[in-house]
A and B are shown apart, each in its own frame.
Chain A
Amino acid sequence: MPAIKTDVRVMPIRIAAKRISGTFLLVLFILAACAGFMGLKLETDKILRKKIPGSSIIYVPSGKFLKYVTFGYSGLAADMIYLWAIQYYSTYEIADRFTYLDHIFAIIAELDSRYTDPYEVGSMIAGKEARDIPLALRILDRGFAKNPDMWLFPFEAGHIAQTQLKDYDLARKYFGKAMVLPGAPDFAKRLYANAALKVTDFKTSWETWLEVYNTATDDRVKKIASNHLYQVKAEMDIDALKEAVAKFKEKYKRLPDELSRLVTAGILTSLPRDLDDKDYVYDAATGDVNPPTMWWKR
């Protein structure tokens, strides 16, 4: 039995102190380790790791597969993937991020076909950033196919067709679909009429503008409609007049010196007048026919 060298009263204090200092050292160690790894994290963040473009998506599964796998949480999955897609497509460093654009938005559509934002945003990314207009239209078509009651999809598609592709026939088709859907704004009709005019579908254009004129609720819209009616008539008439002038030239090998000659030559039964019942202006030197006023200046 070893002899007790120290005072028994001192021992408890020393042991207690040892235990407290032991705890103290432990806490110090924990804090030091914490500070250490946090500092290292800041360092590792600075180091740029080479990323394979699009490497975050190595294998992209099909939407149908995902729908089964997400066990009824497909709506949530759609939200998550959409959120991720937004971040992904805002990361401009990833050079070939558009490779799977169609596929990714197709997956979102498959998981939650009634979620409208992804169609719009997807088509916007396709059109404005990836510069793939057909894809932009495809995405909107997909949206419309799954949501035939949403006027927004054909409306935006019409816009894209009109402004980017300058394909007025396509625009006309889209606006035509849009304007009959519930909630569509009035000017959908006007855009339709306009597009129709651009493809020289005078009949449709006239009829539509007439409808707008008759159903207009305020004077401003009425004025617009009447201006456009003027425009349609003017174009129609000018077309007819130009055709008559050409016929005259063919027959008499020269341009008529005035429009009335067309009637006397028997080519036209009467001279059309513009909507304000004014004559069209004819330039005998060039054979041009123009309306007396510009339709938007009326």
Chain B
Amino acid sequence: MMANALKIEDLHKSFSTGFIPKKKEILKGISLAVEEGEIFGYLGPNGAGKTTTIKCVLSLIFPDRGTVEIFGRPHLSPKAKEKVGFLPENPYFYDYLSAREFLSFYADLFLLNKAEKEARIASLLKLVGLEKAAGLHLRKFSRGMLQRVGLAQALVNDPSLVILDEPLGGLDPLGRKEIRDIIVRFKKEGKTVFLSSHILQDIEMICDRVAIIIGGRIINQGTLHDLISEKVLFTEVTVSGLVPAELAGLGESLSVHGGKVLLKVYDEDKVGRVLELVRDKKAKIESLIPRTETLEDIFVDMVRRT
């Protein structure tokens, strides 16, 4: 039986805050399982408990109840962290170190020997595209560069499980694409990735399975395929050569622009009727796009429901 890369069972955590300590329950019984070799997305609005869950896994926080296993090992065992890499949200690093010194520090914590260390650092810097900035002090790094060196740090021990907390936050579209590509490459290398985010499009693009956490509870969990039905919600049809009056009753006219009409058609057979009309009137179909349910739709719906 293949062990789960990460298995969390019935995790509870409360914090007492305030001058007169008032207990606030953050995690109300989290259970999830991440299979080896997959990219797992952890989704939730701000304050849902994503970061708290991750910190429990990494023993930065001690849960009140529940178990965490990393590759079958209890998460507090010293060996458990040997194969884990972690990139926190909005990371802040020792700004007086250069990128190379920074990676060297963490490499030393894994007791890599000199040769291994040099090789690893060189390859990591290349991976994240920071070779040129190797000798630059972290103080001078931009947000995107910090994110990338943080990712390099998470990989210094060639981990089997990579945990990323909001890795795409604050990056420009190019940066996001680069990170996405790197994450996909992890999967090819056989690594397991656990990433939390609220940029849904990215999750949709790269994750195999997803868990949605709202208010400290897992609301839904499973493959994207299971969560999102393939049902077509509506079809967007762009037609030229017809006036909106002729298309009335078939769909919702979204915009009229330069002779083109954008129509939102809900019924399947109405789409057929539009096509017939176009054929009869010798008009033109500019585009036809069926819109299926997106993660965003589900997510917004779930948040609204709780």
Q: Which positions in A face B, CB cutoff 8 Å?
A: 1, 4, 8, 11-12, 15, 18-19
Contacts and interface: CB of A to CB of B under 8 A. Distances in A.
B272 interface: no
Given A1-B160, A4-B3, A12-B67, A19 B76 contact: yes
A15 B3 contact: no
A15 B69 CA distance: 12
A15 B71 contact: no
A1 B159 CA distance: 11
Given A11-B73, A11-B74, A19-B76, 6 more contacts: A4-B3, A4-B72, A8-B72, A11-B77, A15-B77, A18-B77
Q: Which 3 A-B pairs have the closest CB atoms?
A: A15-B74, A12-B74, A15-B77
Given A1-B160, A4-B3, A15 B76 contact: yes
Contacts of A19: 76
Contacts of A12: 67, 74
A18 B78 CA distance: 11
Q: Is the interface of A mostly helix, strand, loop or mixed?
A: helix
Interface of B: 3, 36, 67, 69, 71-74, 76-77, 160
Contacts of B73: 11
B63 to A, nearest CB: 13
A1 B67 contact: no
Contacts of B71: 1
7 contacts: A1-B3, A1-B36, A4-B72, A8-B72, A11-B77, A15-B74, A18-B77
Nearest to A4: B72
Nearest to B71: A1
Contacts of B3: 1, 4
A264 B76 CA distance: 128
Contacts of A8: 69, 72
A4 to B, nearest CB: 5
Nearest to A1: B71
Contacts of B76: 15, 19
A19 B75 CA distance: 12
Q: Which of A1, A4, A11, A19 counts the most B-chain CB atoms under 10 A from its CB?
A: A1
Contacts of A1: 3, 36, 71, 160
A1 B36 CA distance: 11
A18 B67 CA distance: 16
Contacts of A11: 73-74, 77
A195 B69 CA distance: 100
A15 B36 CA distance: 23
A115 B163 CA distance: 72
A4 B77 CA distance: 14
A4 B1 CA distance: 11
Contacts of A15: 74, 76-77
Contacts of B74: 11-12, 15
Contacts of B36: 1
Nearest to B83: A1
A19 B36 CA distance: 28
B10 to A, nearest CB: 13
Contacts of A18: 77
Interface centre among A12, A18, A19 (most CB of B within 10 A): A12
Nearest to B76: A15
A6 to B, nearest CB: 10
A11 B3 CA distance: 15
Contacts of B67: 12
Nearest to B36: A1
Contacts of B69: 8
A47 B267 CA distance: 100
A8 B71 CA distance: 11
A211 B3 CA distance: 115
A1 B76 CA distance: 18
A18 B77 CA distance: 9
A104 B292 CA distance: 94
A11 B70 CA distance: 12
A11 B77 CA distance: 9
A11 to B, nearest CB: 5
A12 B63 CA distance: 14
A66 B120 CA distance: 65
Contacts of B72: 4, 8
A43 B61 CA distance: 43
A11 B160 CA distance: 21
A11 B72 CA distance: 9
A143 B73 CA distance: 82
